């Protein structure tokens, strides 16, 4: 029997249809909402996440209050939005710290939000949620383009300029950076100074 290359990660995952605190660490994980539906009386909201196919995030009442305060009551508007969730190991249940899924940051908010949320029966504490920065745009110009410029011929430099012109409006900074490399290569090819 061979055990080489046998990844046992799936054998330690909770057998569940929901995202559990144990599946997360204290480091926030950014997730994207793909759907929101009604749940049961105990867990009335199911939030489907792209990163956890087949499982739903079922926010507790406090986290539902965060979502309503930040994004409004119409859950259909949540689709496509992102949040950073984490395992807050200080969450208590039955008098013991058991951990729970909490929201650290949300997209579509301009500034931090602080709410007074229930910590224990009769006790409230401030809870802060940060704005989640937009995802960095992925360049349509291949990362290998830089290296290709360094080995380009004069004709390929002309083709590079034509290619980069297509992206001047969508990626002006990246194009400017690459056009500088093209100009430096053209200077080398024409016998000018090297950069």
pTM of the model: 0.62
Tens digit of each residue's pLDDT (9 = 90 or more) over 135-189:
766 778 888 888 889 889 999 999 999 999 988 887 888 899 999 999 999 999 9
Q: Provide the 3-class DSSP secondary structure of residue 41.
A: coil
pLDDT of 195 strictly over 50: no
Tens digit of each residue's pLDDT (9 = 90 or more) over 158-168:
999 999 998 88
- What pLDDT score was predicted for residue 183? 94
Tens digit of each residue's pLDDT (9 = 90 or more) over 107-121:
999 999 999 998 877
Tens digit of each residue's pLDDT (9 = 90 or more) over 78-104:
999 999 999 988 887 777 777 889 999
Residues in contact with 58: Cβ distance below 8 Å, sequence separation at least 6, in sequence order: 18, 19, 39, 43, 45, 46, 47
How would residue 13 be classed by pLDDT, with cut points 50, 70 and 90? low
Residue labelled with tokens 């980069």:
164
Q: Report whether 23 contacts 13 (CB < 8 A).
A: yes
Burial of 56 (0-12, 13-18, 19+ CB in 10 A): buried
């Amino acid at each position: 029997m061979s055990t080489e290359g046998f990844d046992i990660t799936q054998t330690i995952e909770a057998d569940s249809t929901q995202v559990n605190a144990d599946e997360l660490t204290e480091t926030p994980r950014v997730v994207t909402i793909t759907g929101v539906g009604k749940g049961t009386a105990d867990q009335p909201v199911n939030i489907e996440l792209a990163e956890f196919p087949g499982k739903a995030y079922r926010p507790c009442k406090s986290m539902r209050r965060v979502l309503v305060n930040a994004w409004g009551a119409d859950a259909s508007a949540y689709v496509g939005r992102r949040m950073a969730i984490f395992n807050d190991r200080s969450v208590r249940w039955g008098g013991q710290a058991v951990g729970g899924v909490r929201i650290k940051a949300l997209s579509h908010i301009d500034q931090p939000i602080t709410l007074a949320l229930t910590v224990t029966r009769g006790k409230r504490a401030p809870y802060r949620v940060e704005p989640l920065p937009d995802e960095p745009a992925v360049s349509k110009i291949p990362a290998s383009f830089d290296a290709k410029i360094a080995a380009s011929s004069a004709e390929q430099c002309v083709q590079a300029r034509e290619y980069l012109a297509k992206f001047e409006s969508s990626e002006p900074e990246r194009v400017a950076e690459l056009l500088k490399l093209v100009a430096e290569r053209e200077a080398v090819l024409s016998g000018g100074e090297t950069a």
